[in-house]
Every structure is written in structure tokens, then in C-alpha cells.
Amino acid sequence: MTGRLAGKVALVTGAGTRGDGVGNGKACALLYAREGARVLASDIDMDAAAATAEQIRREGGECVAFQADVSRFDDCNAMIQECISRFGRIDVLHNNVGITNSGGPVEYEEAQWDRMMNVNAKSVFLTAKFALPHMESQRSGSIVNIGSINGVRTIPFPKFAYAASKAAMIAMSREIAVQYAPLGIRSNVVLVGLIKSPIVVQNNTGLYGGEVEEMWRKRDAMSPTGKQGEVWDIAKASLFLASDESQYVNGAVLPVDGGIVNMVKF
């Protein structure tokens, strides 16, 4: 631990992991705590949030688990209020929650579209709505939004609503960055590329023929580096944006993808 977030409070949404291994949100919560932050670990699955909090406490950190559906107004309000009640401030708002479905505009049902936009985009609005007044009173704060390369380019599979929701996240982050910069608040996006994580196994194995190892092989081959990234690559980039080391980085869209975003085709 080097104390890069010492004295800070970080709220991480989607901080739990379902299934084996460590997902992006859990990795970020763990790394933030290891770097000195007190953490509120939020997830729609309380057991998953509690598991993250327990691991942080075992390692000597301070963490509170909280159950919230971040697509809901009341849940987001309660989540931010819990953070303030427990810790007295909020320095880092880390938006990690996201869902995905494949398909184009014809295949998508209206209910699928609505859910995708509510979870992936509306949640960014709602968490910011309730966190920003506290950051404004502090005259400081960092918002880290976990996006996707699909928000800026197409990928080999049609992800119509997912791409739209992640593009919306980028736009919202940019607007916050400019509006709140005079108040000492920054907002940035991490563009996630091909990452080897549990949620990929759950959501995408079928797109690659149903075999997990074959999926990993194909995804490795898609990257200019010859391999996918790890969840810790996302966590390390997020830590930089959360910390004071990035104090003059605002409104940025940072690809963590091995260079895929620059390829004509992958």
C-alpha cells in the first residue's frame, strides 16, 4: 500500500462479483481500500457486496456494504446518504454497474432497451445527482465512470442498446466535467476493452460457441497485444483517475484495451 487514496472516501457501485473470481468493480473496491480509502461497496446483490466488504476488512481496510439498484431514484439517494452518514464525505464516485445484451434495433424489445438505458445510463445521472452537491460543498471530488470501447466504435457482435448506453455515459461524463471543473470536481471515463472477467463468462460465452477456453483464445487473438486485459488493469487506471495524481485530468476518455480502439477491424 502506498496511500494514494489516504484520507479519502470512495463509493463503488457494482462492487460485488457473482460467480468465481474477481470482477472489475470488486477489483477497484479492493485496490481503492488497499491505497487507503474508506469504501462503501454497493451492489444490487447484498451477498456480493458483503463479500467484497468482508475481504477489505480482512485485509485491514474499512468498508461498508450497501444494497442498491442504481437505476432507482430512491436507492441512489439512500446510497449516497449512507456514505455521508458513515464517512462524512464522498471523494470518489465510481460507477461500475452495467449490463449487456446482443442484438440490433429490430431484435431488441422495447423493455430490453429501457432496462439497458436505465441500468447503464440513468444510473450515472442518478448517482451524480445525489453525490455532486456533497462534492461541491467539499470543493473536490472525482467521478470515475466505467465505460466500454463499444461506446465509441462497433465490435464484432451487434450491441445496439449497450453501445448507445455507453455513448450516453461518455456524454454525461463530459458535461459534468466541464460544468463542475470550477468547483474542483473532475469526471472521467475508463473505456474497457477485452477483459478476462467473470461477467464475460456469464454474458458472452455463447457468442463464441459456448466453450469458455475457446472464447478466451479468440479474445486473446483479437487484441494487438495478443492477450486480453485483466480486471486489475481496469482497477489501476481507475485508481489513477480517482487519485490526486490525475488532478489536471478532466473530461478524459481513457481506453484500457491494448489498442483495440485504434484498429479498423478486430
CATH number at residue 234: 3.40.50.720
pLDDT at site 202: 86
pLDDT at site 1: 55
pLDDT at site 182: 98
Rounded mean pLDDT of 208-225?
Answer: 92
Note whether residue 3 is domain-resident.
Answer: no
Contact, 143 vs 173, CB < 8 A? Answer: yes
Reported as a single tens digit per residue, the pLDDT across 228-238 is: 999 999 999 99
Note whether residue 264 is domain-resident.
Answer: no
Which percentage of the chain shows pLDDT scores above 70?
100
Rounded mean pLDDT of 88-116?
Answer: 96
Does pTM top 0.85 for this prediction? yes
Cell of 103: 442484438
Rounded mean pLDDT of 8-12?
Answer: 98
Task: Give the amino acid at 43.
Answer: D
Note whether residue 265 is domain-resident.
Answer: no
Note whether residue 4 is domain-resident.
Answer: no
Note whether residue 261 is domain-resident.
Answer: no
The side-by-side arrangement of strands in the sheet containing 9-13 is: 63-67, 38-43, 9-13, 92-95, 141-148, 185-192, 253-256
* Sign of the dihedral defined by the CA atoms of residues 4, 44, 57, 126, in that order: positive
Structural domains of the chain, count: 1
Note whether residue 58 is domain-resident.
Answer: yes
Which percentage of the chain shows pLDDT scores above 90?
90
- Which structural domain range is residue 152 located in? 9-254
pLDDT at site 210: 86
| Distance of alpha carbon 72 from alpha carbon 122, whole angstroms | 9
162 is known as an active-site residue: yes
pLDDT at site 11: 99
Reported as a single tens digit per residue, the pLDDT across 161-191 is: 999 999 999 999 999 999 999 999 999 999 9
pLDDT at site 115: 97
Catalytic residue among 32, 162, 180, 208: 162
Rounded mean pLDDT of 128-141?
Answer: 98
Note whether residue 263 is domain-resident.
Answer: no
Reported as a single tens digit per residue, the pLDDT across 44-71 is: 999 999 999 999 999 999 999 999 999 9
Note whether residue 131 is domain-resident.
Answer: yes
